[in-house]
Amino acid sequence: MTIFTIPNESHLPLAPLVDLMQVAQAAAANLTFDIKYASTDNFTGQMVYPQARCFIMKEAAQALLNVAVDLKPHGYGLRIFDAYRPWYVTAYFWEHYPDSHLYLADPAEGSRHNRGCAVDLSLYDLKTGQEIEMPSAYDEFNEKSHLNYMGGTAAQNAMRDVLQNAMHAHRFSSHPHEWWHFDYENWHNYRVRDDEFEQLI
């Protein structure tokens, strides 16, 4: 068993986190939630989170509401898969899934998720409630998940671009290997944290 140490970033403040589910409900926003790591429907095949909760930096939460407003006239909403992730989960992924390191954050540095400044998401159809088809599934760790992958259908590639453009318009940046992953601006200004969800409620 490898012993990992959480990065010492005590000189940085903690990002102010909010419960995105509550924020979305209060705003009647077109955000739905499918917290993958609170189920077995993820790359580990195991239930990683004890409950389906979703926390994120306050400014990023407002930005997501704005993205949803932009998408509504086009018939789309946002489906959220993950946001704040405790550091111990990052360490667990890194130790137990070495073949997926290209797609995983090194716990020695921590991830943007650990700071509460990243979100994993996709689009859904407002009329049907069905998730929009992308070039790959969530957490499908291969070239199909890369932003430069052009092997999907024209419709899949186009919808990936719709998502990317909508998020970029509100200060999110992309991950080149994961079409679903977005970092909110200035994430590096906040420290890695390891709080359980229960500690944030």
8 A C-beta contact, residue 86 and residue 51 = no
Over 90: is that where the pLDDT of 3 sits? no
Over 90: is that where the pLDDT of 2 sits? no
Q: For residue 40, is it within any domain?
A: yes
* pLDDT value of position 34: 99
Secondary structure string (H, E, C) spanning 150-201: CCCCHHHHHHHHHHHHHHHCCCEEEECCEEEEEEECCHHHCCCCCCCHHHHC
Q: For residue 12, is it within any domain?
A: no
Over 80: is that where the pLDDT of 201 sits? no
* pLDDT value of position 6: 96
Q: For residue 70, is it within any domain?
A: yes
* pLDDT value of position 1: 65
Q: For residue 5, is it within any domain?
A: no
* pLDDT value of position 31: 98
CATH number of the domain where residue 29 is located: 3.30.1380.10
* pLDDT value of position 142: 97
Q: For residue 21, is it within any domain?
A: yes
Question: What are the tens digits of pLDDT across the range 25-54?
Answer: 999 999 999 999 999 999 999 999 999 999
Residue 113 counted as an annotated binding residue: yes
8 A C-beta contact, residue 14 and residue 58 = no
Give the up-direction half-sphere exposure of residue 93: CA atoms within 13 A in the CB hemisphere. Answer: 27
Q: For residue 189, is it within any domain?
A: yes
Mean pLDDT of 1-6: 85
* Residue range(s) defining the domain that contains residue 104: 17-200
Q: For residue 3, is it within any domain?
A: no
Mean pLDDT of 156-170: 99
Active site (annotated) includes residue 178: yes
Question: What are the tens digits of pLDDT across the range 110-142?
Answer: 999 999 999 999 999 999 999 999 999 999 999
Residue 41 counted as an annotated binding residue: no
Residue 101 counted as an annotated binding residue: no
- Read off the pTM: 0.96
Question: What are the tens digits of pLDDT across the range 56-103?
Answer: 999 999 999 999 999 999 999 999 999 999 999 999 999 999 999 999
Mean pLDDT of 148-167: 98
- Domain count along the chain: 1
Catalytic hit among 59, 109, 178, 196: 178
Q: For residue 86, is it within any domain?
A: yes
| Cα-based distances in Å from 44 to 13, 97, 181 | 31, 8, 18
